Amino acid sequence: MYNAPIKSARAFSFRPSKRTAIIMGSLAGGILLMTGGLYFWQTGEIDRIEKDVAAKQDEVHHGERAAKQLEVVRQDAAAVDGKLRFLEQNVSSGAYIPTMLQQMEKRAGSFGLVVTNSRHNIEVPPPPPPLSREEQKAGKKPPPPPPYNKARIEMDLNGTYGNVARFIHSLTRFEKIIAVNSVMEQTKMDATSSSPSLSVRLVMTGYVFPDSENVANAPVQQPKPGSLSERRATENQLSSPPSPQPK
């Protein structure tokens, strides 16, 4: 009987083969590349998110500052409005126009202008027309009168063109409610001045609110003695008929 020779088993070794080393090295390199790329991507995302959060925080802080500033402005506006209402209530409608003219004369003088004349006329609105029978049956009510009276104001000024222009522009910040209707200018040559002088007539509309019941007897600030507004107020008082006394 023939017995085949028995081959000896190959001894086990911890040393990898060349092929195994290449495969393991490729896997390790791929893992390192993937880990590094993931790290850089996460770092970029974190930076972007942090920038977005910082921008949102800035917007929140800016909104809070804007809200605080708005509240401060509202409080200041309310305080100024209260002061204006208090000042307006302490001036009756009888002295409202002379006081307005006095303020305008003072403002014109601050711009180097000379007020030569000023006139005013309060336009009382006519009563609403009566309702017809059909309107009365329908329960229609007449329209309420406007809450103010209009006053036509004319003022003659002398001064240079620049001073007149600055004065008219300053009327946009005037204390009373007025509207400039027309400006009529006439050039006057002055031998003592290098720039021509203007003779200007301003036609304006002032809005006068009637007195309230609780301030009808409030003290009135008298115009400055010698001013045009005081003279006009005195003339109006002398020319107006006396009010009838109650029996």
- Three-state SS sequence of the chain: CCCCCCCCCCCCCCCCCHHHHHHHHHHHHHHHHHHHHHHHHHHHHHHHHHHHHHHHHHHHHHHHHHHHHHHHHHHHHHHHHHHHHHHHHCCCHHHHHHHHHHHHHHHHHHCCCEEEEEEEEEECCCCCCCCCHHHHHCCCCCCCCCCCEEEEEEEEEEEEHHHHHHHHHHHHHCCCCEEEEEEEEEEECCCCCCCCEEEEEEEEEEEECCCCHHHCCCCCCCCCCCCHHHHHHHHHHHHCCCCCCCC
pLDDT digits (tens, 9 = 90+) for 1-30: 555 555 555 555 567 677 777 887 888 888
- The values of phi and psi at residue 242, to 5°, are -65, 145
pTM of the model: 0.43
Question: Which of 55-69, 179-193, 216-230 has the weakest average pLDDT?
Answer: 216-230
169-206 residue pLDDT tens = 888 888 778 888 888 988 876 666 666 788 999 998 88
